[in-house]
Amino acid sequence: MSIVPVNLLGLELDALVALCEELGEKRFRAVQLFRWVHQRGVSDFGQMTDLAKSFRAKLAERAYVATAAITHQHESRDGTIKWLFDVGGGDAIEAVFIPEEGRNTLCVSSQAGCAVGCRFCFTGHQGFSRNLSSAEIVGQLWYAEHFLRKRLGGAERVISNVVFMGMGEPLQNYRNLVPALRILLDDHGYGLSRRRVTVSTSGVVPMIDRLAQDCPVALAVSLHAPDDTLRDYLVPLNRKHPIDELLRSCIQYLQYAPRDFLTFEYCMLDGVNDLPQQARALVELVRAYGMQGLRCKFNLIPFNPFPGSGLIRSTDENIRAFAQILADAGIVTTVRKTRGDDIEAACGQLAGSVQDHTHVAERVKQQRAMAPERSARALPTIEHEALT
Ligand code: SAH
Ligand code: SF4
């Protein structure tokens, strides 16, 4: 029986050690190999000159190093670069490089599509296609890092931060996420600090608890609403894991987290979740859970509109007023700058086309058509206020 070759981009160091031992090689050879792949960006075993020829020949039979095919690269005037990867089966995913003063961030995808189906998210509207493998997740960083290093002509590391804010819900792809995180953090891999790797989640509570044990990194939680009625509507996963359960798990997570606070993301939707009384309700919420140990900051993200969402971005004035209410209550609040607008690289616009195998988009449409009373109940006064 022939063995299917394995993509080394997805093997954490311990798994690579096990593979090398199977091939009769010691641990330090695995470390050398790991460094060739991740630190030097080499995919051809023939170039790994300090490994024995016989070992390289065996490797060539059992393993390979490759990313998904890159179909597009878009560069923005502000330096943002977006890559589109063809992951097969008609699915595409995206990674975005965001250079900033003092740090260079890569935003990566964890799934083709997403099953959570948030109202304001283009990926959510496309439905879920499949989980990315660990190799497909790490491959985004591998490609971007070595592409940029070559372009800048140096051997220095370029990407200092990775955020899981591209397509997909990382905590619904936990099995492949954790090995990928370990490769990012490994000193022989990318050597990123835990504080500089951020997993963003819509609130998959059981997996937040597991991440705290398995691989605690910085955590961002997509809150988007101060109460369950509105959050049920915007982030359907809230019906399974409501705000109280979510915030309790955040408090637990903080005991293991590399930072002593977490970030709440809040997508600013005109007339839906951006009213002053909703900012005040958030302050109350943060105060109540603050007494139990919740430490957080807020990142307000102006909504990136897409056709058919039926939602509108909050005005700058309303965003400022909302941020001020939080800030006045002593909550550190930032407003996300929109980057790469000209190449559609901003949050929620990661538009790689995904086959909707679960027909989520269709179901959302049907639900809306069939249950008007549900949305009416979810957004009673708010819809009214949006009109006045
Ligand atoms: N699934 C994870 C991570 C990917 S989404 C999560 O939901 O957290 C990353 C961030 O982009 C989340 O905070 C999400 O709410 C936000 N986002 C999604 N669509 C958006 C849009 N159209 N405009 C602004 N932010 C959006
Ligand atoms: Fe999925 Fe995150 Fe989009 Fe919600 S916001 S649909 S969880 S990718």
What is the tens place of the pLDDT at every residue in 244-262?
999 999 999 999 999 999 9
Give the nearest ligand 2 atom to 168 CA.
8
Give the nearest ligand 1 atom to 309 CA.
22
Higher pLDDT, 350 or 160: 160
For residues 299 and 347, give the distance between their C-alpha atoms in angstroms, rounded to a whole number.
Answer: 13
- Give the residues surrounding ligand 1 with Cβ less than 6 Å away: 120-122, 164-165, 169, 200-202, 222, 265, 267, 301, 303-304, 347-348
Helices (H), the chain: 13-22, 27-38, 53-62, 122-126, 134-152, 174-185, 205-214, 228-234, 243-254, 276-290, 316-328, 360-370, 372-378, 380-387
Higher pLDDT, 343 or 18: 18
Query: Which of 107, 114, 233 best tests ligand 2's pocket when mutated (most atoms within 8 Å of CB)?
Result: 114
Query: Which of 121, 198, 344, 350 best tests ligand 1's pocket when mutated (most atoms within 8 Å of CB)?
Result: 121
The one catalytic residue in 94, 136, 265, 344 is: 94
pLDDT at 193 over 70: yes
Q: Could you tell me the two tokens for 195?
A: 């504080």
Specify whether the CB–CB gap between 64 and 7 falls below 8 A.
Answer: yes
Q: What mean pLDDT comes out for the span 64-68? A: 98
- What's residue 375's pLDDT? 33
Specify whether the CB–CB gap between 336 and 343 falls below 8 A.
Answer: no
Give the nearest ligand 1 atom to 349 CA.
22
In this prediction, residue 379 has a pLDDT band, given cuts at 50, 70 and 90, of very low
Point out the ligand nearest to the CA of residue 303.
1
- What's residue 385's pLDDT? 22
For the ranges 116-120, 344-348, 379-383, the lowest mean pLDDT is seen at 379-383
Ligand 1 centroid, distance to 201 Cα (angstroms)? 9
- What's residue 372's pLDDT? 34
Ligand 1 centroid, distance to 249 Cα (angstroms)? 20
Query: Which of 347, 349, 360 best tests ligand 1's pocket when mutated (most atoms within 8 Å of CB)?
Result: 347
- Give the residues surrounding ligand 2 with Cβ less than 6 Å away: 114, 116-118, 121, 123-124, 168-169, 202, 222
> Catalytic: 267?
no
For residues 24 and 311, give the distance between their C-alpha atoms in angstroms, rounded to a whole number.
Answer: 59
Ligand 1 centroid, distance to 347 Cα (angstroms)? 6
Ligand 2 centroid, distance to 49 Cα (angstroms)? 44
For residues 110 and 165, give the distance between their C-alpha atoms in angstroms, rounded to a whole number.
Answer: 8
> Catalytic: 296?
no
- What's residue 120's pLDDT? 97
In this prediction, residue 2 has a pLDDT band, given cuts at 50, 70 and 90, of confident
Specify whether the CB–CB gap between 294 and 257 falls below 8 A.
Answer: no
Q: Could you tell me the two tokens for 184?
A: 């990012």
Class of residue 277 by CB neighbours under 10 A (exposed 0-12, middle 13-18, buried 19+): exposed
For the ranges 107-116, 230-239, 251-260, 336-345, the lowest mean pLDDT is seen at 336-345
For residues 215 and 62, give the distance between their C-alpha atoms in angstroms, rounded to a whole number.
Answer: 28
Task: Provide the 8-state DSSP code for 287.
Answer: H
Give the nearest ligand 1 atom to 265 CA.
13
Higher pLDDT, 339 or 322: 322
Q: What mean pLDDT comes out for the span 238-242? A: 98
| Helix or strand holding residue 99 (H, E) | strand 91-100
For residues 162 and 147, give the distance between their C-alpha atoms in angstroms, rounded to a whole number.
Answer: 16
For the ranges 190-204, 276-290, 342-356, the lowest mean pLDDT is seen at 342-356
pLDDT at 358 over 70: no
Indicate left, alpha or beta for 48 from its phi (over 0: left) and psi (-120 to 50: alpha): beta
**pLDDT tens-place string over residues 87-103:** 999 999 999 999 999 99
pLDDT at 373 over 60: no
Higher pLDDT, 334 or 351: 334
Ligand 2 centroid, distance to 170 Cα (angstroms)? 9
Provide, rounded to the nearest whole percent, the portion of the chain with pLDDT above 70: 88
Map tokens 């990194």 to a residue: 217
According to DSSP, the residues that pair with 296 across neighbouring strands are 262
Among 298, 222, 201, 216, CA closest to 254:
216
- What's residue 376's pLDDT? 28
Give the nearest ligand 2 atom to 122 CA.
3
